[in-house]
Structure 1
Amino acid sequence: MSGTTLADWLRALDDAALVALLRARPDLATPPPADTTVLATRVGSRASVARACEDLDTLALTVLEALLVLDADLRPVPLAALRELFDVDIRPPVALLRARALLWGDDDGLSTPPATRDAVAAFPCGLGRSVPALAGVDLTGLGEDERRVLEALAAGPPVGQTREAAHVVSLDSATTPIQKLLARGLLVRRDTLTVELPREVGLVVRGDRPLGEVVTAEPPLPTSALDPVSVDSTGGGAALELCRHVEGLLRLWSDEPPPVLRSGGVGVRELRRAAKELEVDERRAALLVELVVAAGLVADSEGLEPEWVPTTQADTWLVAPPEHRWAALAQAWLELPRLPGLVGGRDDRDRLLNPLAPELNRPGAPRDRRRVLEALAALPPGTAVPDVERLAAVLAWRAPRRGGRLRDELVRWTVAEGTAVGVLALGAVTGAGRTLLTEGPGPAAKRLGDALPAPVDHVLVQADLTVVAPGRLEPDLAEEIALVADVESAGGATVYRVGEHSVRRAFDAGRTAADLHELFRARSRTPVPQSLTYLIDDTARKHGRLRGGAAGSFLRCDDPVLIAEVLAHPAGQRLELRRIAPTVLVSPLPLAEVLDGLRGAGFAPSAEGPDGQVLDLRAAGRRIAGRGRRRPAPPPAPSEEQLGELVRLVRAGDRAARTTGGARVSVPGNLGAGPSATLALLQRAAKEGRNVLVDFVDGHGTAARRVITPQLVGGGVLEGVDVSYGEVRRFPLHRITSAALVEE
């Protein structure tokens, strides 16, 4: 079979091999090829070859480049010549290249698609272009300086820039190593600034290592064994921390939404403000910003002055259990078609890259992210990879053409982000992370919920007015504690601090002193210190002595002296207060503005409703409708049955091309003589009981192809048996675009 064409070689493959080819190179199947000739054209196209090479490991890619060194893209070469270039068994990579149609022919004549040289490497294996006249060149007699130049170029790349390339000199007048080598013909002048080392000279310089430095085996990956329970508990803590930070970001942007930059994204000042408020570094803040938008919790308001505003989905997320909150964020990160790791860097124009900027878009990011995670998930549970650089080296060997210039950075970013999200912990994949990769966010949430410790129903109140939550609090208790105390430190045990302003916040929300005393008495496992009791009572005595209502607004107080003090204060003038009774003041300003102004002046007013009860005037935060920014799920991979049917149709197309009188009848635009010719061909097939390869457009506008045995042709309908499924089908004639007889 030496010298056989690619199309002939593909035709000779069995159906199972073609199905495997289409599974390995899915771009070949879209749209379905008409016959093997069309399939062969796609197999040899530059874009398809380049995509196929992305999944090759270093050894297979080196074998492919070695074939180019032997000019297998120009003429068939024997397998024996290829083996001479390697000192390892190359049968597995050769079989892989054949299975992906990057190599065809028998062992006496191997060929690669002509587009391979352009798609793989301009200088395969670091060797220059061939100059056949230099085959077997003798390099004895060269000076040491000339040899150093040749050895440098032979190591690759084989081209160099030099001004000496512009001058043509004889060997007698040459003074520099470059000039001497050019004069000897051992270097080739490509242009006035470029010289190239011919392939034949490079092979001689390399000697017994014709391909240079070749890494033929995957580098070792050091690992360490950890307790899977420890990995899961650490990941669970990271998941809770992630949810807490996202909740804080939503609260911050509810009150003060950041503007959308003219170029898109969030500005540096807003990113720093978020990092400061959340007490995280800017890199983590950037990841949080990307996640809330990707998860649909925040969106661009798209107004005249657009802002990044939480959506109504944020409210649903906020009331969900922690494990479901995490699953939504983790899935958004896994599918994120962007690279948050680029934030803080510079683009090609030296402009700063901000969070949510369009320059961070990378459609291939989910695929590359999943590849890193799946490599770690392939290890036994609890197996950690402590050295990220070694992991990057292993993945680089497995797919050196994946990821482009950011290939190794993608590994580092994925590990760092995965750890922050809680998919990774201590260098290993968590149980919830494994479930997320294989089963999706629902089962992953359940797995995380099982790994998290049960919520605790108590706190520990300390004498220094701190409240320690010894674990994840029950939702109701967490809400009450967050209302009366501020988080001081978070982690496995969260520490809150109670202060006058936090107690006042609880009173502003409608809690009474009796409510707070009962909260700490019932929920604290330690005695409630007197200092906390005094703080609550002292704050309660001052709180609410002033009462505000909507007049615009009013203030009332049983103490006329306090009313006079407020009226005489400069804040009273700014708030346009006036006395309408000894114990009542009114203002045309909104009640919330009046109360904020008085609090800023050192007073402690509270709001009351028509029934005299305390009102909670805290802003609920802005919300907008969700924008549906989630990335659509990729189409599912075709099944074995679908690929098998496609192969059968390709075979039918080949038979149609070989059938006497089976030339395809096309119907361009359903005009002209096409319909009558198609009708005649179908009627002939029905009369003779022959099969027909029919191209048609279904009711959804999708092009399709079937092999049909016509039974009835008339009334604008073709009725016949679908050969692949044995079913009787009906096709409107106006939807048939072409037909051809098939010799079975």
Structure 2
Amino acid sequence: MPGSSLVDWLRARSDEELVALLRARPDLATPPPADSSVLATRAGVRASVARACEDLDSFTLTVLEAFVLLDADESPVSLSTVSDMLGAGITPERVRRSLSELRERMLVWGDDAELSLTPAARETVQAFPGGLGRSVEGITTDEARRVVDELAEDERRLVDRLAQGPPIGRTKEAADQVPFERAETPVQRLLARGLLLRHDTETVELPRQLAWAVRGEYPMGTVEDEEPALEQRAHDRSTVDATAAGEVLEWTRHTELLLDAWGEQPPDVLRSGGVGVRDLRRTGKALDVDETRLALVVELAVAAGLVANSEGDEPQWVPTVQADSWLASAPEQRWALLARTWLDLPRLPGLIGGRDEKDRLIGPLSEELRRGSAPRERRRVLDLLDEMPAGHGLRGSDEAVNVLAWRAPRRGGRLRDDIVRWTLAEATSLGLVALGALTTAGRTLLEGDTGEAARQLATALPEPLDHVLVQTDLTVVAPGRLQPELATEMNLVADVESAGSATVYRISESSLRRALDSGRTAEDLHALFRDRSRTPIPQSLTYLVDDVARRHGRLRAGTASAFLRCDDPVLLAQVEAHPDVAGLELRRIAPTVLVSPLLVSEVVEGLRKAGFAPVAEGPDGRILDLRSGARRVRVRERASAQPTASTVPDDEQLARRVHEMRAGDHAAAARRGSAVSPERGRPSAAATLELLRDAARQRRDVWLGFVDAHGGATQRVVEPVSVGGGVLQGFDRGRGEVGDFPLHRITSVAVVEK
């Protein structure tokens, strides 16, 4: 248990200071501490101290290391002593600012003249505080300076190098004890004189006193008392927003393509819950995106409820019914859902492609990506950008890495710097960040107003175009975002060759056949290009449309189960003779009609694979579109996806817990007189009633051992007012208010002596 000085110091704090302590270290407040001694004990637990250090900046951690080097956990030190340890240029005023933060977290307590360190803090700092090794007896500071000045040149180089930290070096010369007379190398000579310590058979360590002698006025080496300067580049705000708008359109396009691809050919769900590498590569090839970007698209599509596990015996990743609503939404609404999902995503997509602890590849949608702290770390990076004026951006991600590493060196563990880079890259892809700067919509999204963020993005998006540019090489250029109906027609009649601020489509025989299969006629296609193109229609495109349309639909399939009719008996004879259509079981029932027992879709597909261009027709002779509709599943609500109440107490709850603790302190300090003897671990009801009624008549305070509604054991000093109906009503001295105490929750009772 901590010394009484810590408990006394806690009791002397104001309620506001204790609330600030519990806010900074919420683990101390759960369950509510019974009194100050319990709080002091919890505050000294190593795991709690380590958590309290996570949000400390680099300089404050250095101050904490200075307390460790000064053995402040054994005897108090003064503020000026700590400042001297930090070296020249570090003023007591600067140390005092960090000291207030250490006091607030109760890592250090006491006034400026006598500052003490929480003992567990020694276990949470780095192995070599300040880059210094162990202290050895028998070497004073003056002797260390004299010894260092007398070292040979090669010995001094070695000592200087180790003095910069860390103080250890690896060498095979540490294995043997060599007398000074036989020592040949600097390591051997220093070991023989006791100026190097043998850490183990392959490691030597420089004593702390020698390092201090080399460092001179800087006992802890170079100390960064301020965070690194953040160099900024100024951009026009409209330029930033316009650049981000282009990324938004590209991201939503890739998500749309994913929904289309997985709607037609859903990938299987792996036993581990993810998606297979082969399926991912196939999808990436179809979407023409790299696997890193596709992995993030997949993660967000699932997290946003646009894709879900179909479950069942052979589960697959299938678009949901919500995907149709998303596809019908405006681009800014599409973005708002995805951006909000990414901001709150409790996963780290940046880990995809790496290896887990068992050296297995980490894939999209796998459980290895789950990190509850991811949203907090993501906001921490974006908050840094939010500190800069609108339009101002970073020169590079390394600047953000350096600043955030200084602000909280212990946050994020080994992935700390990677998380910063991943966050900036993902935010840029999603259009929250552009040119290193936070966008207008991104700032608003951080404030929690998703609707306003979508409206701000809408103003930055380019107006949709109603025209395209047809080129002589059978490509079509869309110089910007197309109107939805025009985009639909272009995706039907042509294939995307490249995308970006301008989209290039390629017209081919297969793409024209796709349009004709959907029911478009040659006249419809000619009208589309003629009405929508701002450039002349090349003759080659006109010829290609007419040629494909002339050959298209000459064979017509119907239901017989299926029939195949054609005005040209010669073409039907070619079909019958073709070796690749034998499996269709076609037979002639008339010079221009063949029938098959197979489905119409199977007959059409088989003929197309054989190189023919049939179409399906309905009972009325009109062309049928046989393309399969995209699969959809409904999103099942999971218990884990439901929002849960925060477990962190608010200020009002913390204030109540401080009052409870004050009451516990008051009860602990009370002198107890006559008490009720317990029977089988608790006092008898009759004896308790008699003692409480006597105390009420005599107006004497009683000390209660009490179990609250949450099952926590507390103590109270109460002046009984009335006893009846199984309840003691009395004035709680610690809390300063009247309260009810059910008798069945009283575990012990005694009269308080005056």
1:43 aligns with: 43
Kindly state the Cα deviation for residue 119 of structure 1 after the two structures are TM-superposed: 1.0
TM-score normalised by L of structure 1: 0.88
Question: 2:132·2:208 contact (CA, 8 Å) conserved in 1?
Answer: yes
Question: Which of 258, 266, 269 is 1:257 aligned to?
Answer: 266
- Kindly provide the CA deviation profile for residues 685-718 of structure 1, in whole angstroms up to 9, marking residues without a partner as x: 88759797965337xx999999999877655667
Matched, 1:143 2:149: no
Question: 1:666·1:678 contact (CA, 8 Å) conserved in 2?
Answer: no
SS at 1:309 equivalent: strand
Matched, 1:88 2:90: yes
Moved more, 297-306 or 228-237: 297-306
2:66 aligns with: 66
- Kindly provide the CA deviation profile for residues 655-714 of structure 1, in whole angstroms up to 9, marking residues without a partner as x: 23223449999999x99658778878887888759797965337xx99999999987765
SS at 2:169 equivalent: strand
Whole-Å Cα distance in 2 between the matches of residues 685 and 560 of structure 1? Answer: 116
Whole-Å Cα distance in 1 between the matches of residues 668 and 734 of structure 2? Answer: 19
CA shift in 2, pair 1:45/1:529, >3 Å:
same
- Kindly provide the CA deviation profile for residues 202-253 of structure 1, in whole angstroms up to 9, marking residues without a partner as x: 2223222210122222221111111111111111110111011111122222
Question: Which of 378, 393, 402 is 1:384 aligned to?
Answer: 393
Equivalent residue runs for 1:18-417 within 5 Å: 18-85=18-85, 86=87, 87-89=89-91, 90-136=95-141, 137-138=143-144, 139=147, 140-417=149-426
Question: Which of 627, 645, 659 is 1:648 aligned to?
Answer: 659
CA shift in 2, pair 1:440/1:540, >3 Å:
same
Whole-Å Cα distance in 2 between the matches of residues 376 and 661 of structure 1? Answer: 60
SS at 1:84 equivalent: helix
Figure out how many residues of one structure are paired with residues of the other and give that number. Answer: 738
Whole-Å Cα distance in 1 between the matches of residues 672 and 75 of structure 2? Answer: 36
Kindly state the Cα deviation for residue 320 of structure 1 after the two structures are TM-superposed: 2.4
TM-score normalised by L of structure 2: 0.87
- Kindly provide the CA deviation profile for residues 300-328 of structure 1, in whole angstroms up to 9, marking residues without a partner as x: 44455544333333333222222222122
CA shift in 2, pair 1:172/1:526, >3 Å:
closer
Residue segments in structure 2 that go unaligned for 5+ positions in a row = none
Moved more, 92-101 or 23-32: 23-32
SS at 2:108 equivalent: coil
Question: 1:553·1:589 contact (CA, 8 Å) conserved in 2?
Answer: yes
AA of the residue aligned to 2:127: A
Whole-Å Cα distance in 2 between the matches of residues 665 and 453 of structure 1? Answer: 82
Question: 1:659·1:742 contact (CA, 8 Å) conserved in 2?
Answer: no
Kindly state the Cα deviation for residue 481 of structure 1 after the two structures are TM-superposed: 2.6
Question: 1:693·1:742 contact (CA, 8 Å) conserved in 2?
Answer: no
Question: Which of 708, 715, 734 is 1:696 aligned to?
Answer: 708
Kindly state the Cα deviation for residue 114 of structure 1 after the two structures are TM-superposed: 0.7
Matched, 1:17 2:17: yes
Whole-Å Cα distance in 1 between the matches of residues 750 and 304 of structure 2? Answer: 53
Whole-Å Cα distance in 2 between the matches of residues 721 and 642 of structure 1? Answer: 21
Moved more, 570-579 or 188-197: 188-197
Equivalent residue runs for 1:528-607 within 5 Å: 531-607=540-616
Question: 2:18·2:658 contact (CA, 8 Å) conserved in 1?
Answer: yes
Matched, 1:475 2:509: no
CA shift in 2, pair 1:75/1:305, >3 Å:
farther
Whole-Å Cα distance in 2 between the matches of residues 707 and 554 of structure 1? Answer: 96
CA shift in 2, pair 1:350/1:460, >3 Å:
same
- Kindly provide the CA deviation profile for residues 55-91 of structure 1, in whole angstroms up to 9, marking residues without a partner as x: 1111111111111111112221111211112322222
Question: 1:60·1:93 contact (CA, 8 Å) conserved in 2?
Answer: yes
Moved more, 340-349 or 570-579: 340-349
AA of the residue aligned to 1:42: R
1:489 aligns with: 498
AA of the residue aligned to 2:709: V
SS at 1:480 equivalent: helix
Whole-Å Cα distance in 2 between the matches of residues 135 and 369 of structure 1? Answer: 49
Question: 1:301·1:307 contact (CA, 8 Å) conserved in 2?
Answer: yes
Question: 2:133·2:167 contact (CA, 8 Å) conserved in 1?
Answer: yes
Moved more, 251-260 or 430-439: 251-260
Whole-Å Cα distance in 2 between the matches of residues 470 and 706 of structure 1? Answer: 77
Kindly state the Cα deviation for residue 6 of structure 1 after the two structures are TM-superposed: 2.1
CA shift in 2, pair 1:543/1:729, >3 Å:
farther
CA shift in 2, pair 1:523/1:218, >3 Å:
same
Equivalent residue runs for 1:415-494 within 5 Å: 415-494=424-503
AA of the residue aligned to 2:484: P
SS at 1:448 equivalent: helix
Equivalent residue runs for 1:648-667 within 5 Å: 648-661=659-672
Whole-Å Cα distance in 2 between the matches of residues 350 and 325 of structure 1? Answer: 37
SS at 1:5 equivalent: helix
SS at 1:354 equivalent: coil
Kindly state the Cα deviation for residue 292 of structure 1 after the two structures are TM-superposed: 2.1
Question: 1:21·1:99 contact (CA, 8 Å) conserved in 2?
Answer: yes
Whole-Å Cα distance in 2 between the matches of residues 705 and 587 of structure 1? Answer: 90
- Kindly provide the CA deviation profile for residues 596-617 of structure 1, in whole angstroms up to 9, marking residues without a partner as x: 1211222222223344333222
Kindly state the Cα deviation for residue 525 of structure 1 after the two structures are TM-superposed: 4.9
CA shift in 2, pair 1:194/1:544, >3 Å:
same
SS at 1:439 equivalent: coil
AA of the residue aligned to 2:13: L
Question: 1:58·1:399 contact (CA, 8 Å) conserved in 2?
Answer: yes
CA shift in 2, pair 1:625/1:723, >3 Å:
farther
CA shift in 2, pair 1:278/1:68, >3 Å:
same
Question: 1:243·1:326 contact (CA, 8 Å) conserved in 2?
Answer: yes
SS at 1:216 equivalent: coil
Residue segments in structure 1 that go unaligned for 5+ positions in a row = none
Matched, 1:623 2:670: no
AA of the residue aligned to 1:47: A
Moved more, 361-370 or 710-719: 710-719
CA shift in 2, pair 1:531/1:703, >3 Å:
farther
AA of the residue aligned to 1:67: F
Question: 1:656·1:663 contact (CA, 8 Å) conserved in 2?
Answer: no
SS at 1:586 equivalent: strand
Moved more, 463-472 or 485-494: 463-472
AA of the residue aligned to 1:104: W
- Kindly provide the CA deviation profile for residues 249-305 of structure 1, in whole angstroms up to 9, marking residues without a partner as x: 222222233334455533433333333222222322222222223323333444555
Question: 1:662·1:740 contact (CA, 8 Å) conserved in 2?
Answer: no
Whole-Å Cα distance in 2 between the matches of residues 561 and 282 of structure 1? Answer: 49
Whole-Å Cα distance in 2 between the matches of residues 596 and 703 of structure 1? Answer: 77
SS at 2:226 equivalent: coil
AA of the residue aligned to 1:108: A
